[in-house]
Amino acid sequence: MFLVGAGPGDPGLLTLRGAEALAMADVVVYDRLSVSALLDLAPPGAERISVAKSAGRAVMPQDDINALLVEKANQGLTVVRLKGGDPFVFARGGEEAAALAAAGLHYEVVPGVTSAIAVPAYAGIPVTLRHSSTSFTVITGHEDPDKSDEVNWEAAAQLGGTIVILMGIGRLPKIVDRLLAGGLAPDTPAAAIRWGTRPEQHTVRSTLSAIAREQLASPSVIVVGQVAAMDLSWFESRPLFGKKVIVTRPRHQSSVLADRLRDEGADALIVPTIEIVDPLDGGAALSAAVAQASSYDWIVLTSANGAARFCERLRDGRDLAGVKIAAIGPGTAEVLADHNLVADLIPERFIAESLLEAFPLPNDTDQRRVLLARAEVARDVLPDGLRDLGWRVDVVDAYRTIPVEPSDAERERIIGADIVTFTSSSTVDNWVAAFGVDTLPKVVACIGPITADTARRAGLRVDVIADVHTIDGLVDALVERSAHPTSPKKRTPRRSSRGPRFGRQQRRA
């Protein structure tokens, strides 16, 4: 049994121990302030139970939540109670721990990053600052409704330093009056940060006397004191800040793109339209071909998925002694590198046509054999082109893509999105099958020209095509559009430091 602090909103602020607990979970019990993206860290078969707690209301009463935790834990299940912020900071985690202890159950508390410090930091407000604020006080504005107000706001006003108020929107006018009565000046800087650390973060800067008249809503963290006037903005200045971007890649591969988008400030919405599965023969043809890998001059891999399945079946890298490997792009080459294999050829542009241009002609010492491992449904540009060069080509299906039916939650999630990203033709085809062409966000972004052509044939307009046909290239293209929507400039893409070197092998005569 784990009581896990989910942190204030940014999924990257979850602790390593929290991630480990979620990976072991049979049951996850979560509330409104938990981070929905963190639920994906639990095993696919784990039960997910929303108790939808938030300031001022709860779908499930606290006593019932306590009973639920005890019930699930008594069934021998690994239970994670996922709570926003830190479970022991105004989150009633102490009550839940007490209920578990009373039932004789063992549990572990995993502290979380509290919103009292993290949210102001994401708004560019340090809660302490030498010479102006050497202390800070954290107070809840939402106390037990069955008890009288125990917070001495007048005394808090006289302490000096910074006052951080959590869950105080509903009582803000009363809180302001009492802080003023305690001696704080009406023009004392004040700020309210809603949905702090998330892509939808919104910061309002005002004064103590005026803050309650601003258009504020929960959940918000309120900061009162001289530091509230500071604006050391870093989070809200990111180029894709506030943009809702749909990721249509397979779920197990979506995190790479989603994380890059979040690095640039976007709200990445994972809505897979395809799933990668074994070919209809279960991979038998690929296994047989890999077993005979030494009989080929070249292995050609046209995707990271194909490379992964090829490497899974390769028993010993020495079987490829004397065999060269061509990878369609850096993502494919990186999978090879993870298995201690080096791509001998990566084209300048990461498409089949460019690979053909760079591919050598067979010479007299070659067996003239090429193994092409690819998706079950693919263009014939490569096999036809290689045969035209004089190679004997064996094509094997390494995997196939199948459509994924979106859940009701995913259908709701795409409403109001700003951008949809497509990283393959199959993601386009299955988006159209699932959602049609009338639900498109304002911007359609494709990883390369082949995917863009598929989108146009399906009746979609295409607004962004990555110059470099990689995940980094796609994100860079979106960043450039955000900065220069009418006249985008080139931007050097970010690459992994362990990625392969790019070069074009000269065709041999």
Cα separation, 413 vs 432, in Å, equals: 16
Residue range 277-402 forms a domain whose CATH class is alpha beta
Catalytic residue among 53, 72, 243, 244, which?
Answer: 53
Catalytic residue among 31, 297, 463, 472, which?
Answer: 31
Look up 60 and say whether it is catalytic.
no
What ranges do the domains of the chain cover? 2-113, 116-229, 244-273+404-483, 277-402
245 bridge partner residues = 268, 419
Q: Given the structure tokens 């121990």, which residue do they identify?
A: 17
SS3 content of the chain, % helix, strand, coil (to 5): 35, 20, 45
Position 37 scores a pLDDT of: 77
Query: Is 277-402 the same fold as 116-229?
Result: no
Look up 53 and say whether it is catalytic.
yes
Max Cα–Cα distance, the chain, nearest Å: 94
pLDDT, tens digit, 9 for 90 and up, residues 86-121: 999 998 999 999 999 999 999 999 999 999 999 999
* Spans of the chain, pLDDT less than 70: 33-35, 53-58, 143-149, 485-509
Q: Which helix (H) or strand (E) is 80 found in, with range?
A: strand 79-83
Position 144 scores a pLDDT of: 55
Catalytic residue among 1, 72, 86, 167, which?
Answer: 167
Three-class secondary structure of residue 200 per DSSP: coil
Tokens of 71: 């019930």
Position 410 scores a pLDDT of: 87
Look up 267 and say whether it is catalytic.
no
Q: What CATH number was assigned to the domain covering residues 244-273+404-483? A: 3.40.50.10090
Position 327 scores a pLDDT of: 96
Burial category of 439 from C-beta neighbours within 10 Å (exposed 0-12, middle 13-18, buried 19 and up)? middle
The pTM for the full model equals: 0.76
402 bridge partner residues = 275
Architecture of domain 2-113: 3-Layer(aba) Sandwich (3.40)
Check: CB of residue 42 under 8 Å from CB of residue 22. yes
Residue range 116-229 forms a domain whose CATH class is alpha beta
Cα separation, 284 vs 289, in Å, equals: 9
